[in-house]
Amino acid sequence: MKDCPFCNIPERDIIHENGLALCFLDRYPVTEGHSLIIPKRHVSGHFQATPNEVSAIMELAELRKRSLLEEFSDITGFNIGTNCGRSAGQTVFHLHWHLIPRRDGDIEDPRGGVRGVIPVKRIYP
């Protein structure tokens, strides 16, 4: 798609790719190494992707995780996720998975992880 920023990723920015997906650094990283993994085919969200595309994305997520662990000795965890739809926070309507490296102490209390999309629900008993 002509207007989609993810349909025109420059070759020089691609970190990993396979037949159906590619991986590159997020332009607005949450942490150092924050990467995006997308299908090469333009689909708006996770539920429009084929099982083969989802598998290709997962393959690259694992490959990128391994390369990040080799590059950064201080990574102690990861958040991985995708936003599906405007109400879920999606702003670029080309499926993309975030792979966000985490480090001990990067926030005061990381409990709840992805539950933080609704801050008052992040911490639970």
Domain range annotation of the chain: 11-105+112-121
Angstrom distance (rounded) from CA 51 to CA 53 = 5
Q: Which two tokens stand for residue 44?
A: 């708006």
Task: Kindly report, residue by residue over 52-85, the tens digit of the pLDDT.
Answer: 999 999 999 999 999 999 999 999 999 999 999 9
**Residue 16 appears among annotated catalytic residues:** no
Does domain 11-105+112-121 correspond to CATH entry 3.30.428.10? yes
Given 16, 46, 94, 96, the catalytic residue = 96
pLDDT of residue 116: 87
Q: Are 111 and 121 in contact (CB under 8 A)?
A: no
Binned at pLDDT 50, 70 and 90, residue 40 comes out as very high
Predicted pLDDT of residue 119: 87
- 3-state SS string for the chain: CCCCCCCCCCHHHEEEECCCEEEEECCCCCCCCCEEEEECCCCCCHHHCCHHHHHHHHHHHHHHHHHHHHHCCCCCEEEEECCCCHHHCCCCCCCCEEEEEECCCCCCCCCCHHHHHCHHHCCCC
Instruction: Identify the residue whose tokens are 């739809």.
Output: 85
Task: Characterize the bridge pairing of strands 97-102 and 35-39.
Answer: antiparallel
Question: What does the mean pLDDT of the chain come to?
Answer: 95
